[in-house]
Each structure stands twice: as structure tokens, then as C-alpha cells.
Structure 1
Amino acid sequence: MEALLSNIHFWLVGHPTISQYEWKEGHTLGSSRLFPAITIISYLSVTLFLHRFAVLPDLSSAAAFRYAAAVHNMILCLLSLAMAVGSTLATLHQMPRDGWGWVVCFPADPATLPRGPVFFWGYVCYFSKILEFIDTLLILFGGSRSRRRLSFLHVFHHAGVVVAGYLLLATAQSMLPVAVATNAAVHVLMYAYYFLCAVGHRPRWKKLVTDCQIIQFVFGLVMSGLMLYYHFTGSGCSGVRALFYNTVFVAVLLTMFLDFHSTNYSSKKRKDHDN
């Protein structure tokens, strides 16, 4: 068991690629400001064109389409699991010995540099959000019933989270370990659900996925408040200016998810469904 844990720690924290990782703006792939801008504009343009102007075939009954959906969801489920475990282990490894405050407040003086295993997993999370764009394609090519799931919430969430991921790294933003670990943990559950759906077994715990997402957003806002407490009562926290975007983004998502939850999981809706 000790050897197994040692190997897990090496491959998720101690490997030189991870332990010596450093975000360098203009040098690291995806680190320029232009990269997320072009990525998001391309995503929105393709999504709008396919949704509004293209005549799309219904591939939902094709075995190849179901297989591709299952593989995509399984990859993201396993990647999310690696991020959740890796980010947690990296935080325990990189955290200073003088307290847990570092988890939500990277010191601003001296400046925190975006390097080390914690930021490596933030980088993986950043690119995983681009990989998640395939979710939208699966919805669009899944037939008319599937396309009804393509909402403003879905597109806004997928586009906005890329900006959030970029800011976490570009500003060495405090709370990065919390954001990556909690987001990845929720996505393990979410993509496990979609994988089971893709292989023909639709679980009855879809509501649990939405509940966990809402809890994640509330937890993130509470932790943001804690970070601001550390910032104004101490020597400052790294990346506070970028926190404004991420806090507003999470607050908007929380509002929209609560509305979605109320619309889809109210007692009346469940009663009508049962009838």
C-alpha cells in the first residue's frame, strides 16, 4: 500500500513535468491573452452557426456516435478524477508549514509566482475546459430532443469558465487549489452520469449533479469572502483584481442554476412527471 501511494504521489505531484511546471506568459501554450479570446470566439461562432443556420443530421441512433460520446465522457470523468486527486495532493505538498491560510490566500508580497504542481493542475483544468466544448457538439448532433438541452446557461458556462481558468493562472490567483479540486470533484460525478447515459443506462440521480454544482458555487463564494478577509486583514492576497470577474461569474452561474433547479426539479414538476 505504501508503495502504491508513493507511486501515485510521484505521478501526480513529484514527476519533473509537474513539480517543475511554470506558467510563463507568451511562452507557455495558451498563456497569451489572444488565445482564450480566439478560443471563445471560435466556440461561440461555431455553436451559433450549427444551432441557427445548419441542417444537422440526427446521429443519436448511430453506434459510432454513442461510442464517441461514451469515450468523451469517460475521458473527462477520469481526467477530472486525476485533477481532483492531483490538485489535493499538490496542495498538501506545496502548502507552507505555517498554516492553511495559503490554500485560499497566496501571499502578494513577496509575489507568488505561478509555478509548481498546484499550478500544473490549474493548467490541466484550464485546457480541460476547452475539451469540454465537445459537450456542445454532442448535444447539437444528438437529435432534436437533445438540441433542446442547448441553453444559454450551457453556452455561457462553457465560454465563461475558460476566462476564469486563464485568470487563475495568469494572475496566480488565490483560491486556485480550492477552485480546481472542487470543480474537478463535481465533474467526476457529472461525467460519470453522462457516460452511463451514453452507454444506455440513465441513472436516476441527475438532480444530484445539479445539487452538487450549486453547492460548489455557494462554497466558492464563501471561500472568496474568506480570501477577502485574509486580504484586508493581512499583507494581501495574490490575484485579487481577477477575483472580481470570477466572483461575478460564479454568482451569475449560481443564480442561473438555481432557476434551472427550480424549473426542472420542483415538486410540481416531479408530480406532473409521475402522473
Structure 2
Amino acid sequence: MVKAAIYYLSEHPRIVGFRWSHAQSWGATWSFLFTSIASYVLLSLVLSLSLRLLRRQRRIPLGPIPAAHSLAMSLISATIFAGILVSAAEEIRETRWFWRRSKTPLEWLLCFPLGTRPSGRVFFWSYVYYLSRFIHMARTPLGILGRGRVSFLHVLSQSISCLISFLWLEFSQSFQVLGILLATLVYALVYAYRFWTAIGLRRACFPFVLNCQVALLASNLACHVAVFLLHFFFKGACNGIGAWLFNSVLNLALLFLFLNFYLVGHRRKIPPSHLTVPVPPSPS
């Protein structure tokens, strides 16, 4: 079973032979990306305004849909985590001869060598992660229908997360392996917990979701600093650093918005479950 799992996670021909291509990869064009994000934002606005105009004060019963979505996202995230972990280990084993004089495996995870192309095992799972962002976005209309509202930060963070995952592939950006590992681990735990509570089981005695998300932000910030030091002071150029700098600006903006939103929510005693932290896979 272990061999079969490794085969389907890292050795399947479609995984090994994957290549990010505008012509062959679904959703790989800029027009698709911006159309999808614009449609997502528009749908969120229309649903929110419609409920306000109808003056609905009660939640719309959604039945098992939120629980099913949480279970699906937890399983998808766990699969991506396992896939990219096994694939990264295999890529390191096969390509280490090329960069072993200049990098350690940890440094490779943080800083791809110049000339890295978006093909092979690691980028296959990066592509799956990008596609999973669209499933993740479904949480927003469910939240609007179930609670009657959703925060601006939530919509913005989901849009930026989708954009960032696209840029990782488009520019073979450094750090995406660790970014996806951290993000999918947190997503698997958070959505498993949401499924657990959605089916009526006991909640944790502390803000579990918020603590997981804050831990992710702290881990990404530490990795962010490591990439900066590797590129500018120690090991030389990292691949896709231009996209990484752009992502860094987006992530810092999201971090500022989150801290502001968290402080406001804390003063107003907003339940931690309603606080949504951006999960930017790049030192994000």
C-alpha cells in the first residue's frame, strides 16, 4: 500500500511529466485568472446586497453542505500535503547533483536555482493547489448564506491567495514548496475541525482556528525572512524573485489588514470563528 501511495503521489506519468502551459493546463491563462476573481468578488457582493435588500435576519438553512465542503477541503488539503512532501523528497534526490555545491535541501526548498521551469512533480502539486483555491472560494457564498454576511478581509484574502498561487506557477517562484506544505497542513486541520463542529461534536476550549492561522502567519514570516537573507546576502539569486517581491507586498498588506481586523474584532468581541486570516502560501 505504501508503494502504491508513493506511485500515485509522485511517480505517476502525469505527475512526472507535468508541465505548466497556457495551452494545455486548465485555468492557466491570465484572462481566466482575472475573470474568475472578478466573478467571485461580484458574486459575493450580489449575495450580500441581495440578503440586505431582502432584510433577512435569520440564517438560511444549508443542511449538510457546509460540513461536506469542510470535509472535502480537509481531504484535498491532506492529499496535496502528502503529494508535495513525497514529490519534493524525490525531486531533491534526483536533482541534488545539479545544485548540491551551492545549496542544502532546506535552502533548495526556500530558494529554487535560477532557470527552474514549472514542470515535474512539485509543480504538478502546485497546480493542484492552485485549482483547490477555487473550491476553497465556495466557502464565501456558503458563509454569506449561512451567516448573512462576510468580511471584506475574507473576500480580499481569498482573491489574493488565488493570484499568488497562479504567480508561483507562472514564474516558478521560490519558496512555494514550503508555502504549500504549511498552508495545506493548516487547511487540513482547520477544515477537519470545522467538519467536526458542523456535525455537532464538541468544540475546543480555545480558539482553535484562529490559533492555527496565527501560527501559519508566524511560520510564513520566518520563512519570508529566510528567503530574503538567502537571496540578498548568502546564496545568491533565487528563481522568480520578482514575483516573490510582489507577493511579499500583498502578504504584508494582508497581514496589516488582519491585525487591524483582529484588534477591532477583539474590542467588539467578535467570535474567533468569524475571523478569517489570509493564508498566503508564500511567506504568507
Q: Which TM-score bucket, shorter chain as reference?
A: 0.7 to 0.9
3-state DSSP of counterpart to 1:222: helix
- The percent of aligned pairs where both chains have the same amino acid is 28
Specify which of 81, 86, 91 is matched with residue 84 of structure 1.
Answer: 81
Using a 3 Å threshold, how does the CA distance of structure 1 residues 173 and 198 change in structure 2: closer, same or farther?
same
Specify which of 68, 71, 75 is matched with residue 72 of structure 2.
Answer: 75
Worse-matched range after superposition: 182-191 or 5-14 = 5-14
Please list, as runs of the form range in 1=range in 2, the aligned pairs for 1:79-158 lying within 5 A after superposition: 79-95=76-92, 96-97=95-96, 98=100, 99-100=104-105, 101-108=107-114, 111-142=115-146, 146-148=147-149, 150-158=150-158
3-state DSSP of counterpart to 1:141: helix
- Quick one: distance in 2 between partners of 1:126 and 1:159? 12
Q: Once superposed, what is the RMSD of the aligned Cα atoms? A: 2.3
- Quick one: distance in 2 between partners of 1:137 and 1:91? 34
3-state DSSP of counterpart to 1:29: coil
Worse-matched range after superposition: 184-193 or 19-28 = 19-28
- Quick one: distance in 2 between partners of 1:78 and 1:58? 33
**Counterpart of 1:41?**
38
- Quick one: distance in 2 between partners of 1:166 and 1:79? 18
- Quick one: distance in 2 between partners of 1:131 and 1:218? 25
Normalization by structure 1: what TM-score?
Answer: 0.85
Cα deviation, residue 195, structure 1:
1.1
Cα deviation, residue 225, structure 1:
2.3
- Quick one: distance in 1 between partners of 2:136 and 2:58? 19
* C-alpha contact (below 8 Å) 2:59/2:148 kept by paired residues: no
Structure 2: gaps (5+ residues): 271-284
Using a 3 Å threshold, how does the CA distance of structure 1 residues 61 and 147 change in structure 2: closer, same or farther?
closer
Using a 3 Å threshold, how does the CA distance of structure 1 residues 245 and 66 change in structure 2: closer, same or farther?
farther
- Quick one: distance in 2 between partners of 1:86 and 1:56? 46
Cα deviation, residue 41, structure 1:
0.3
* C-alpha contact (below 8 Å) 1:221/1:250 kept by paired residues: no
- Quick one: distance in 2 between partners of 1:186 and 1:56? 36
Structure 1: gaps (5+ residues): 271-275
Amino acid paired to 2:112: F
Cα deviation, residue 25, structure 1:
2.8
Q: Encode CA deviations 1:32-75: one digit per residue, 9 max, x unaligned.
A: 1111100000001111111113548789574xx22122111111
Cα deviation, residue 235, structure 1:
4.0
**Counterpart of 2:193?**
193
Please list, as runs of the form range in 1=range in 2, the aligned pairs for 1:191-270 lying within 5 A after superposition: 191-201=191-201, 203-204=203-204, 207-232=207-232, 233-264=234-265, 269=269
- Quick one: distance in 1 between partners of 2:73 and 2:245? 28
**Counterpart of 2:276?**
none
Q: Encode CA deviations 1:3-32: one digit per residue, 9 max, x unaligned.
A: x32222111111111121110134311111
Q: Encode CA deviations 1:144-199: one digit per residue, 9 max, x unaligned.
A: xx124x10111111111110000000000000101111000000111112212321
1:6 aligns with 2:28: no
* C-alpha contact (below 8 Å) 1:164/1:245 kept by paired residues: no
Using a 3 Å threshold, how does the CA distance of structure 1 residues 206 and 161 change in structure 2: closer, same or farther?
farther
- Quick one: distance in 1 between partners of 2:203 and 2:246? 35
Using a 3 Å threshold, how does the CA distance of structure 1 residues 119 and 27 change in structure 2: closer, same or farther?
same
3-state DSSP of counterpart to 2:63: helix
Using a 3 Å threshold, how does the CA distance of structure 1 residues 126 and 48 change in structure 2: closer, same or farther?
same
Using a 3 Å threshold, how does the CA distance of structure 1 residues 11 and 57 change in structure 2: closer, same or farther?
farther
Worse-matched range after superposition: 97-106 or 202-211 = 202-211
Alignment size in residue pairs? 258
3-state DSSP of counterpart to 2:26: coil
- Quick one: distance in 2 between partners of 1:17 and 1:60? 44
Amino acid paired to 1:103: L
Cα deviation, residue 119, structure 1:
0.6
